[in-house]
Structure 1
Amino acid sequence: MERALRGRQFGHRARLALTPAQVRLIDDQAHAARTMWNLLHDWWTMVPKGKRSLAAADAAIRQARKEIDWLGVLPAQAAQSVLKTYFQAWKNCWEGRADAPNFKARLRTVMGVDVPQGRDLQITRVHRRWGMVNIPKVGRVRFRWTKSLPVGKHANVDNRITGARLVKDPLGWHVAFRVTVLEAAPEPHAGPEVGIDMGVTIPLALSDASKTHGAWMTERERAKLLRLERQAAHRRSCRKQGDRTSRQLQRTYDQIASLRATAKRRATDWQHQTTTGIARQYGVIVVEDLAIANMTKSAKGTADNPGKNVAQKSGLNRSVRGEAWGRTITMLKYKAARHGGSLCKVPAPGTSQRCSACGFVTPGSRQSQAVFVCQNSDCGWSGNADHNAARNILDLYRMGLVLVSAAGRAVVRRARRVKPATAR
């Protein structure tokens, strides 16, 4: 029996290999796109509400491109993309999904240029490691080929690249392709169930006692980062208020950003490989419904009611944000669906204090970050604390206490049929 076909859209990011001249051309386009956004924002705030329309904004953009010569380095299609993105930002604001769009500063804005038409890219594969892509008003550019793309004879109406976006980070320029493919719907995954506890010391602890570790920076890189941060703090303290950032300080900032971007790239790669392996092995993946924004709030408090252990809480907040639990859950969700599985969320309170063997919460059982010893006299179970929490997460799912979305909020719903717990 043939499986039904379904469309899937995804993005693929690849590193560009640019010459210095090509870097300058793309930088000029990115600055022109940022300036176009700021001009649109000024136009929006000055024009009366009754005269704000897409047609009027388009006419203003065309007039600006005629009067300001250096805006012409931005292709016309990219300028139209800036206009559509700006209006979509206001639509998201009106519907309560985001804040109002604002002015884009030169140093605090991620530089990017959109290539909305896929036919303009003209992608070809040179050999196993490299491909070539056409960038409007720049020319042919090499990019790192790390994923099979629907190009050439493999491209058709259902399998094609619909566009791309050029994005710059501290490691250089990258191209993010927008890909749409038609593929067979996956069969239901017959794999086992697994509970996952997310932590800082152990990023992912599974209920079957397996763990995953990741190291994003070497000891040498950590020492270099610490030295650069101290150097930046010293140079910042020597700068007078109101003075511009010196070239030495800006160079130090760039080195810090490069180290952190390298660590983030390694962490993202580790997340992709780990979540893909979990999605292939397990049919049902159960995680906690973590309120990460609340967990990483500052402990400073107020002047009348100052917080306690502020420095320790700040360090914990940085560690939690560095693990990117939300990104891991997002990857698990769409990868489980691709392999025929599912991801479920259960309530988070009590999973780390409850004994997974007897089910009781006894004070003092969580003896350290890594050790759990049940203080119940009738139990006495001991083991790894993260493994204990992962087993509790899986038990909550088997009891039917799963979170579902209802009217825009998460509620607990007990399933009608409770799956029996397997023997440990």
Structure 2
Amino acid sequence: MMVVSRFLSVGVGRLLGVSRYRLQPSPAQEAALLEHCGHARYVWNLAVEQHAHWQRGRALAPGFVEQCRQLTEARAACEWLAAGSIIVQQQALKDFHQAMANFFGQTHRRPTWRRRGRSEGFRIVAVKPGDVRRVSRKVGEVRIPKVGWVRFRWSRPVEQAKSFRVTRDAAGRWHVAFAVIPAPIPGPGTGEIVGVDRGVTVSAALSTGELLIVPPLREAEKKRLVRLQRTVARAKPGSKRRGKVKVAIAQLRAREGDRRKDWVEKTSTDLARRFDVIAVEDLKISAMTRSAKGTIEAPGTNVRQKAGLNQGILANGWGRLVARTEDKAPDRVWKINPRYTSQTCNACKHIARESRESQALFLCVACKHRDHADVNAAKNHRDTAAGLAVAARGGLLLGEPVNREPQRDLLLVG
């Protein structure tokens, strides 16, 4: 098995399928889909292992073409691997190659191992128009290699796509995401600018005074989650009982995630339709949510408090909200330097840490201006963007439509 041991692959670049549907496979089809997921995971992990052996001074790790050649050799040596789809396995390599490119481009972290039950999925390319069809008003079918026609819920029209990704979440739900790019949402054309300040207690505060909050789990759901977490802590590792409880926990987490995604989609669409420019803080969320544990030699401090803050940031969908708004309103989302925006009075522009009396209250120590702290910060984002718009357009009034395209690089801050 020397061919297999030296064959390695690359990290997966996520396919952001903006058109996702719930798959409804039969038991036999689900088993075949799990086989595809296993093959994609195996190829991916081999690629991770291969690149893990590379060190400075050695020959370069094999690229995508060389790995495809090694995959052909591995399929010839392993009957169980040859029984799978070559498309699924090659696309796992392609995803890894893209993930490594993202890592070296310093936009993503280094690709890591994929585990069974987590990050399950595979990608299909070269999709033809006849590979997706509508069966009835609410049922459609998609053709998957070596699986056949698999039904999915036709919740909205399916646009023609050249590829799609099949995924399975921790709750056991299957989805198919078609790689289509939706048309941008046109702005109102009034030149109106809104500032958005993201927080933990208030998910998004607008300069208009609106306070938007991601819908959390209900109280009964939170209590059930606590009971399930206590049960799984007492359950024997590897037991069927523990597996069932973990699935129940995953279902509650999936419900929470679905509500967050739904809130993000509705909020981003509303912002793109109502405002011509959306000003947000330029936050480095990945750096902000890093663990504070430290090392054995230099252990961190306030680790539990930092972990709670990290969970609050991620639970409010900070990054997803901005990303989806940028997708729907391209070139209309401006990122503002967040320095001192939470300590600056929007009325008199006095900067003082003492003005932020609490999480919710901003009371200026200079002019006694009172406002919600997050709304005050959002107004500062709006005013900064407005000043940039006036400067870039030679002093034109803000009431006119904003055309940012010619000065795109000039207007980016932070």
TM-score range, shorter chain: 0.7 to 0.9
Aligned equivalent of 1:125, options 115, 134, 137: 134
* Contact 2:389 2:398 survives alignment (8 Å): no
Partner residue of 1:369?
359
Report the residue type matching 1:372 in the other structure: F
Relative contact order, higher structure (CA 8 A, sep 6+)? 2
Report the residue type matching 1:124 in the other structure: R
* Contact 1:73 1:137 survives alignment (8 Å): no
1:288 matched to 2:281? The reply is yes
* Contact 1:347 1:401 survives alignment (8 Å): no
SS at 2:23's partner residue? strand
Structure 1: which 5+ runs fail to align? 1-8, 151-159, 403-413
Partner residue of 1:25?
32
Report the residue type matching 1:367 in the other structure: E
* Contact 1:400 1:418 survives alignment (8 Å): no
Partner residue of 1:62?
72
Deviation at 1:274, TM superposition (A): 0.9
Partner residue of 2:336?
346
1:264 matched to 2:257? The reply is yes
For 1:230 and 1:343, locate their aligned partners in 2 and report how far apart those are by CA, in whole Å: 43
For 2:61 and 2:205, locate their aligned partners in 1 and report how far apart those are by CA, in whole Å: 57
Q: Normalised by the size of structure 2, how large is the TM-score? A: 0.80
For 2:24 and 2:363, locate their aligned partners in 1 and report how far apart those are by CA, in whole Å: 54
Q: Note the 1:90-239 alignment, pairs <5 A.
A: 90-98=100-108, 101-107=111-117, 109-119=118-128, 122-150=131-159, 160-171=160-171, 172-179=173-180, 189-235=189-235
- Which moves more between the two structures, 202-211 or 302-311? 302-311
Deviation at 1:68, TM superposition (A): 2.3
Aligned equivalent of 1:325, options 314, 318, 325: 318
RMSD of aligned Cα (Å): 3.3
Query: Per residue, is there more strand in 1 or in 2?
Result: 1
Partner residue of 2:13?
none
Partner residue of 2:7?
none
Count of aligned positions = 380
Q: Normalised by the size of structure 1, how large is the TM-score? A: 0.79
For 1:367 and 1:336, locate their aligned partners in 2 and report how far apart those are by CA, in whole Å: 35
* Contact 1:32 1:70 survives alignment (8 Å): no
Q: Note the 1:391-406 alignment, pairs <5 A.
A: 391-400=379-388
Structure 2: which 5+ runs fail to align? 1-15, 400-414
Report the residue type matching 2:74 in the other structure: A
User: For residues 13-35 of structure 1, what are the alpha-carbon distances to aligned partners after superposition, in whole Å with 9 as ceiling and x for unaligned?
Assistant: 11101222211110011112222
- Which moves more between the two structures, 298-307 or 9-18? 298-307
Partner residue of 1:405?
none
